[in-house]
């Protein structure tokens, strides 16, 4: 049962149609908790990309020898192994960023998005397709986190990637931790609005 999509379509699918944060509404904890700056989103995005790609490939390679009844524990342990690796790498090479992300790197192990992609995609498809799907999902997560970080950083601190852009702080409210909920909700509503407008335009054309 191979997928009929090309590799490029798989990546785009992960970023747009099935964006993990805004469309699938999975792995929301970091999206609310630490999306205060673009940099945070980027770093956690890299960690998730790494774990997603390597777990997808691992499961795709070994899918024939995994008994269906123990597949969920197998997925979990595979993810846990890759998370341990990225956790130790980040702690060793980027101690500052690691300290800022806190417990969230370790919590990648419980992110629903990774388990779900293994269950829905990697255990049925070929190794190459799983690799590109992993890339797409990882990039989609990273894009979502960075978009959230961009909005919150710009509106809250008036900066982008630490550089002062606006010169003043429009709404300090947005960098406060709980504003993550409002920000995610409003951005989702914004994307829904775009979709509604797009569909209406298409209907009038056709």
Cβ closest to another protein, residue 168 vs residue 178: 178
Is residue 107 a contact point for another protein (CB under 8 A)? yes
Helical packing angle, 71-93 and 38-62, nearest 10° = 140
Is residue 182 a contact point for another protein (CB under 8 A)? yes
Which tokens go with 48?
């998730």
Cβ closest to another protein, residue 95 vs residue 177: 177
Is residue 160 a contact point for another protein (CB under 8 A)? no
| Residue 107 CB neighbour total at 10 angstroms | 15
Compute the distance between CA of residue 63 and CA of residue 75 in angstroms, rounded to an integer: 10
User: Which of helix, strand or coil describes residue 164?
Assistant: strand
Question: Among residues 178, 202, 203, 204, which is the contact residue for another protein, using CB under 8 A?
Answer: 178
Write out the binding residues for another protein, residues 40-69 only, by CB under 8 A.
Answer: none
For the chain, what's the residue count?
206
Q: State whether the Cα torsion 196-197-198-202 is positive or negative.
A: positive
Is residue 71 a contact point for another protein (CB under 8 A)? no
Compute the distance between CA of residue 41 and CA of residue 59 in angstroms, rounded to an integer: 26
Cβ closest to another protein, residue 78 vs residue 132: 78
Question: Among residues 8, 62, 181, 198, which is the contact residue for another protein, using CB under 8 A?
Answer: 181
Is residue 32 a contact point for another protein (CB under 8 A)? yes
Contact 45, 80 (CB under 8 A): no
Which residue ranges make up the site for another protein (CB under 8 A)?
25-29, 31-33, 72-73, 76-77, 79-81, 83-84, 87-88, 103, 106-107, 109-112, 115, 177-182, 184-186, 188-190, 192-193, 196
């Amino acid at each position: 049962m191979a997928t009929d999509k090309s590799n490029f379509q798989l990546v785009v699918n992960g970023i747009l149609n099935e964006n993990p944060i805004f469309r699938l509404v999975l792995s929301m904890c970091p999206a609310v908790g630490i999306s205060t700056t673009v940099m945070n989103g980027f770093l956690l995005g890299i960690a998730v990309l790494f774990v997603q790609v390597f777990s997808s490939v691992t499961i795709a390679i070994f899918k024939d020898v995994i008994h269906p009844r123990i597949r969920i524990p197998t997925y979990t342990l595979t993810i846990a192994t890759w998370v341990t690796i990225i956790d130790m790498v980040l702690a060793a090479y980027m101690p500052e960023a690691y300290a800022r992300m806190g417990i969230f790197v370790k919590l990648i192990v419980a992110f629903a998005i990774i388990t779900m992609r293994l269950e829905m995609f990697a255990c049925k498809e070929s190794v190459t397709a799983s690799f590109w799907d992993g890339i797409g999902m990882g990039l989609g997560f990273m894009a979502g986190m960075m978009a959230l970080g961009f909005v919150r950083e710009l509106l809250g601190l008036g900066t982008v990637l630490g550089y002062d852009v606006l010169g003043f702080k429009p709404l300090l409210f947005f960098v406060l931790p709980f504003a993550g909920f409002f920000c995610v909700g409003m951005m989702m509503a914004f994307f829904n609005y775009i979709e509604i407008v797009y569909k209406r335009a298409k209907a009038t054309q056709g």
